[in-house]
A and B are shown apart, each in its own frame.
Chain A
Amino acid sequence: MFIPGWLISLLTFPGVIAHEIAHRFFCDLAKVPVYKVCYFRIGNPAGYVIHGQVNGLKSSFLISIGPLIINTILCALLTFSATFPIFILEAENYSVVFIILMWAGFSIGMHAFPSNDDMENFVQEVKNAKEGGVLLMFAKLFAGLLKIANALRVIWFDAIYAFGISMLLPWLIGAL
């Protein structure tokens, strides 16, 4: 089933906003100047952060990967309690609170992946820093994996990722 990207972004807008907040937050933490932020809009991209030159690999890594970390943690925590009645115990009716928690969590989890541009910026930073060898290889591998993940969004890989993350904490504490 083909659903336009703008419609998916609209239905999962908390994820777009959380993604851009994470970018902005890590820019501020890394003292990188931010020129413009669009937290949400109907269009492509659905949100963006325009920032200045990043100094240092650590900052570049945090700014690029920030949304992956923040959105993944938020997805896991928001869906944590709702996973039990909905997926594990398969309740036939459940509170609207669980529906809201699951929607918010899934929306945020679906927008966890950094964009291809984010990852290309990171790889470029690694190249600029002349940090060859293992670090460059790791950066390229990571960027490659995320590009594959972004490409697989056409088969709902972002939703599959969100589902996997929502089941992660119940699995880790032995409830599955």
Chain B
Amino acid sequence: MEEETLQNIPILSPHKYPAWIKLFTGALLLSVIYSLILLPEYFVASKKFKLGVEAYSNRNYSSSIQNLEYAIETVPTSKKAKIAIAKAYFANGNQQDDEKGLEYLQGVTLDKDTWADLTTVMPVEYQKYFNDIKQ
């Protein structure tokens, strides 16, 4: 809009916003605060997940299980954590733990790569419990 045309329009008062904009801004700021309040719990869970995966790579299965259990307690439906803890249970050499690993995989849909990775440690007799789903 040209300057000449603008001269006919009244200038809005600075820093005076409509009530709904103030409400909107307030809601946004509250959402940011709430997001930051939730942060520590989920940040620690992610860190524990990462530590669990690293411990698994180092064949430190008990530490891996401990860290991954923490992550699952915070995010019970975490697919990644369930798969990782199942692998740790299968790989730890304690056959009594294999069933725990299987329990974590109940209801989890696995892609081909994850399935291939999982079968390297999953007892063969458990593999029959999984069905191939066509997509």
Q: What residues make up the interface of A, taking CB atoms closer than 8 Å to B? A: 14, 17-18, 21, 24, 28, 31, 33-37, 39, 50, 52-53, 74, 77-82, 84-85, 88-94, 97, 100-101, 104, 170, 173-175
Contact = CB atoms under 8 A, between A and B. Distances in A.
B71 to A, nearest CB: 6
Interface of B: 1, 3, 6, 9-12, 14-15, 17-18, 21, 24-25, 28, 31-32, 34-36, 38-39, 42-43, 45-47, 49-50, 71, 75, 77-81, 108
B77 A39 contact: no
5 contacts: A21-B21, A33-B12, A85-B78, A89-B81, A170-B46
A36 to B, nearest CB: 7
Given A36-B12, A78-B28, A84-B42, 10 more contacts: A17-B21, A18-B28, A21-B25, A35-B6, A36-B9, A50-B9, A52-B6, A80-B35, A82-B35, A84-B43
A173 B24 CA distance: 30
A84 B3 contact: no
Prevailing SS type, chain B contact patch:
helix
A91 B3 contact: no
Contacts of B6: 35, 50, 52
Contacts of B1: 35, 50
A89 B71 contact: yes
B30 to A, nearest CB: 11
Contacts of A34: 11-12, 14
Nearest to A39: B21
